Amino acid sequence: MHKFKYSKYIQILMSVTASMMVVAPSIALAATPPPTKAAAPPPNPTYGQALEIAPPVIYLTVNPGETKKTQIFLRDISSGDLIVTGEANDFTAAGDDGTPKILLGDEAANNPYSMKKWVVAPASLNLVPREMKTMAITINVPATASPGGHYGIIRFTATPPSLKK
């Protein structure tokens, strides 16, 4: 009787996420004055969100029950401080051109190639301009993981500290 283990091929894409707030001029504020006791909102930062990540694609071969560690280099390329957080998601192909479609919410529920839950939520990092730090990524492959390819994406969001308060 032969005993063998399945090897799994997993692919992790990295992405940089940045948000834009588009707002209309304050026509409504003139008609509806804000409450007088409301706390003043934090000032908007004067700089944008800019991040460099390396590598943007990771391929790993893992075995059921194995814990795999890897790392991502993150550099703040903006002109101000940034807090970087990472969030794992699954993805599938958006077409046949290699564009990933990130699976959010219910879309990921029955995804046979899912690995989102295998990824330990990465700790956030504080970066100053030009600083590069390493973010550790830990992947716990379940002993019951199905063989074949699994695909995940880790989205890194860089936020100025003033918008985190």
Partner 1 sequence: MTLRGKTDALFKLGLIALAIVYFSIFLSSNASAAQITSRSLTLEQGAGGDGGSKPGGTVKHKFDFTIPSNTTLGSIKFQYCTTASGTCSPVSGLTTTGSVTLSNQSGLTGFSLDNTTNGSPFIHRTAAAPGGANTAVSYELSGVVNPSTTNQTFYVRITTYSSEDVTTGATDTGTVAASTATQITLTGTMPESLIFCTGGAISLTSGIPDCSTATSGSITFNQLFSPADTAVAKSQMAASTNADFGYSITYTGATLTSGSNTVTAMTSATTSVRGTRQFGMNLTLNDGTAYTNAPNVTGSANIAPTSNGTNYRGQALTGYDTAGTFKFNAAGDSIANSANGGAGPTDVQLYTASYIANVSGGQPIGTYTTTLTYICTATF
Asked if 123 interacts with partner 1 (CB under 8 A), we say no
Q: Which of 7, 42, 54, 70 binds partner 1 (CB under 8 A)?
A: 54
Site membership for partner 1, residue 102 (CB under 8 A): yes
78 contacts 48 by C-beta, under 8 angstroms: yes
Dihedral sign, Cα of residue 121, residue 124, residue 18, residue 42: positive
Report the 10 Å Cβ neighbour count for 151. 21
- Among all chains, which residue has been given the structure tokens 């790392």? 71
Binding residues for partner 1, rule CB under 8 A, total 46
Assess 106 for contact with partner 1 (CB under 8 A). Answer: no
Considering the rule CB under 8 A, would residue 161 count as an interface residue with partner 1?
no
Site for partner 1 contains 67 (CB under 8 A): no
Residue labelled with tokens 């990092």: 125
Q: Which residues bind partner 1 (CB under 8 A)?
A: 11, 13-29, 31, 44-57, 73, 77-79, 94, 97-100, 102, 129, 153, 155
